[in-house]
Structure 1
């Protein structure tokens, strides 16, 4: 049964190539445990090395070189999600950054050659392979002549590999802006895949022939060779407060907009809107508690009624000089399914070590 399940998962993963609407979804999971603890409601507040992902215009607030690392596991530790980023200012008005994301399932059993042409089972013919998605991003941010207004752009390269069966290359661009008022209101807009991100797939004919012959009459046609990722918008607003010098409180609201009709809480034929709300409480700029809620969905039940689901998240953070350690406890699906993940991230600000 385990071998059959592995074979089915392999076939399903290959058949998903034809899906274009949700291409490169691994790039939408999110990075930085601090942001994930606030349900990703950070497009207006992000202001460190992780801004290269959330809103590249926020990189302009990086005053010295910064490095960020993150690891998390999903689906009962079957899939691993890793992230690394680096940012540095190049003058007093501009900053650059680079980042790498890897989302992968490793050591998958390839059972397509388990049974030979004579019907003999040979377990030595089982091999292992990985399915891995990579996203490499180069970011640039710059201050505009208007006080408090910044912009940023991302150039992305996508690499996706499924063993020796298939692989693809993709390219795309993001753009973002941030604006901060004198009374500490912040606004942000992040436009992802503004040119539509294009992925081009190529297949190994010999390897794919094994899939075609695994189950008679199925998987006889190659999947589509190209994917298009449609643009998305993330619009945010936030406000920070300081109490008695030692206590801080930040609240943020983001609206995630997809140009399609789906199960989001607000959905039309033109676009769907999914809100996310995040909160952060800080003490002496050292200890942080975070929570958030997002991913509101109208789920259709068996009796054709609809119920509202949502995705909660919680997090804590510790900051000492240039070392930031953050943890998030978040649900990749919704509150009704126990698929919680533990996310850890580390950020180093080189200015503390000069």
Structure 2
């Protein structure tokens, strides 16, 4: 149905434009003959798509679509006489306030002989008419609106007259086509001399009549990417006290360089050709008029970047400035936080609170590195505190290992005593008590070895190694025993046990690394030694579940965002600007809330996602500085969900997660 209505509308205007051949009443002003070789070659049927530089004369609403600073010059001699008809047009587009156009028309004869009553030559004089047009065009919603103010000046010898201002108004609309072969349809309505200019020269007053014109243009092409097309234009012109004047124009474009044109206006036929290359076009027209044919030439050029590109560049510059401001504020905040943490760390160090001092200095160093400031002081203080903490922890560990060694020695667990005494010596090689316990346990273990049979002794060592988690050593010892006594059932059982425990241990390590297939293989090997072992069976079942969950979590389904409606687009734009305003006044939670709403409504809005990552980083650092670790981690995890490759935020999150784990360990230890 939509295509049928579209076809009827286009054909009605085009057929009606050639179905009548009334005489145009014209306008009183001689400057109403039209301007621009292209437009005149098309019989003025192209008012809906007239050149931007002739739009101040034909259709000021066309200025709304102009993109570049454009200039045109038009010249002809009327009817092989010395009458010059000229036009100069300039279009100046702005980024936000539409486009302005200026048109100047001249019709004049120079050096006319002046004679007296006796037909004697007394001198010469000039007869010049100048028309001035100041036009403006702007897009409002889906309509292009325009207006033009006109004035004329007529000079004949020493007589001069200037008209009162006249006003033209115009409106255009571009309608999309449902057909692949038809690019668009543009409809324009122009009302000239709504305020009619009038001029009085000597005793004669001339007033221009009102004129109304409607035009329709459509572009036909083989496909939408073709560089050849046929533009068909049709229109009606109605002047007060004159019949309607229909027109039909055709323009065929080849490679956007060569343009062939023809038109029918009433009973008069016109034609022309145009050449365009690198922003410069030359147009020629031959126009059939009642008094003969006119030959006209126009030269048009466009310079500078298109307004659309300049708007995009301006937007990018504003976005870059906004991003720099956000980064500067974050850096300043980091510097202030680093200074505060450095001061609080010094206070904690002076009071002996090494844990707090370590945490403060570590954060200060982290923030200083992120902000690119000097880290000498914070690094030095952190190293000093960590050295003191290491010394204290080492002394505590030595004491703990010595206690364990004493208990093992009293229980005749000489290997255990040697093990814990050795751990103490690894931390403090000069500790006299550790040396004594190690030597005493060694002598006792040697005595035990001499008293017991070799196999039984080695099996006990294997069991002890397994008990302390030294599975590689246990397996090596079991293999040695089997080489000496391969038929001994106790040695064979010890080998199976050592292999089983090593496989089980390596499987648990593989699970921790999320290498579930490796873990399952190791558990299967362990179960061949001791089939039906409940713990291994439970671990294998857990591995299978974890592997399935891991695969399900790794599956990513790409969802193409649905196109947004006009209402949603407006809501997204409003929320985006609200977020920027909130950030500029320092209300980060409100900015985050507004931008999260934009991301929810328009997931493909890449610019707002970049801002969300930055504001998340900013808010996360603020929460981190106030020891609100869990809240800061949640914020940074939101940022990583949007930008998983952001190494800086990943470092923040990793650091915070480690600190939370340390706090949990200290809490569990107490």
- What TM-score range do you get, normalising by the shorter chain? 0.7 to 0.9
Shift of 1:332: 2.5
Partners of 1:161 and 1:75 lie apart in 2 by 22
2:275 corresponds to which residue?
318
Point out where structure 1 has 5 or more consecutive residues left out of the alignment: 1-20, 116-120, 204-222, 263-271, 297-309
- Return the structure number with greater strand share: 1
Distance 1:24 1:259, change over 3 A: closer
Shift of 1:173: 0.8
2:91 corresponds to which residue?
87
Alignment of 1:78-227 (within 5 A): 78-111=82-115, 113=116, 115=118, 123=120, 125-145=121-141, 147=142, 149-183=143-177, 184-201=184-201, 203=202, 223-224=203-204, 226-227=205-206
Partners of 1:165 and 1:241 lie apart in 2 by 52
2:209 corresponds to which residue?
230
CA RMSD after TM alignment = 2.0
Partners of 1:22 and 1:168 lie apart in 2 by 21
Alignment of 1:254-269 (within 5 A): 254-260=235-241, 262=242
Residues 168-203 of structure 1: CA deviation (Å, up to 9, x unaligned): 4332111111111112111011111111112133x3
SS of aligned partner of 2:31: helix
> Contact between 2:27 and 2:239, CA under 8 Å: does it hold in 1?
no
Partners of 1:98 and 1:246 lie apart in 2 by 31
> Contact between 1:232 and 1:257, CA under 8 Å: does it hold in 2?
yes
> Contact between 2:68 and 2:305, CA under 8 Å: does it hold in 1?
no
SS of aligned partner of 1:126: strand
TM-score (norm 1): 0.73
SS of aligned partner of 1:150: strand
> Contact between 2:161 and 2:199, CA under 8 Å: does it hold in 1?
no
Alignment of 1:25-104 (within 5 A): 25-104=29-108
Shift of 1:47: 4.8
Distance 1:174 1:128, change over 3 A: same
> Contact between 2:151 and 2:165, CA under 8 Å: does it hold in 1?
yes
Partners of 2:164 and 2:101 lie apart in 1 by 20
> Contact between 1:22 and 1:229, CA under 8 Å: does it hold in 2?
no
Shift of 1:290: 0.1
Shift of 1:24: 4.5
Point out where structure 2 has 5 or more consecutive residues left out of the alignment: 1-24, 178-183, 311-670
SS of aligned partner of 1:44: helix
Distance 1:24 1:106, change over 3 A: farther
> Which one has the largest radius of gyration?
2
Partners of 1:72 and 1:83 lie apart in 2 by 9
> Contact between 1:81 and 1:104, CA under 8 Å: does it hold in 2?
yes
SS of aligned partner of 1:319: strand
Distance 1:286 1:92, change over 3 A: farther
Partners of 1:230 and 1:30 lie apart in 2 by 16
Shift of 1:227: 2.1
Runs (4+) off by over 6 Å:
none
Shift of 1:329: 0.7
Shift of 1:61: 1.4
2:252 corresponds to which residue?
281
Residues 88-125 of structure 1: CA deviation (Å, up to 9, x unaligned): 112245000111000112221111x262xxxxx7x4x4
> Contact between 1:42 and 1:54, CA under 8 Å: does it hold in 2?
no
Using CA pairs under 8 Å that are at least 6 residues apart, name the structure with larger relative contact order, 1 or 2.
1
SS of aligned partner of 1:50: helix
> Contact between 1:47 and 1:62, CA under 8 Å: does it hold in 2?
no
Residues 274-299 of structure 1: CA deviation (Å, up to 9, x unaligned): 101100000011100000011x2xxx
Shift of 1:317: 0.2
> Contact between 2:89 and 2:101, CA under 8 Å: does it hold in 1?
yes
What is the aligned counterpart of 1:344 among 277, 297, 300? 297
- The alignment status of 1:247 with 2:228, answered yes or no, reads yes
Distance 1:23 1:234, change over 3 A: closer
Shift of 1:315: 0.2
Partners of 2:27 and 2:46 lie apart in 1 by 23
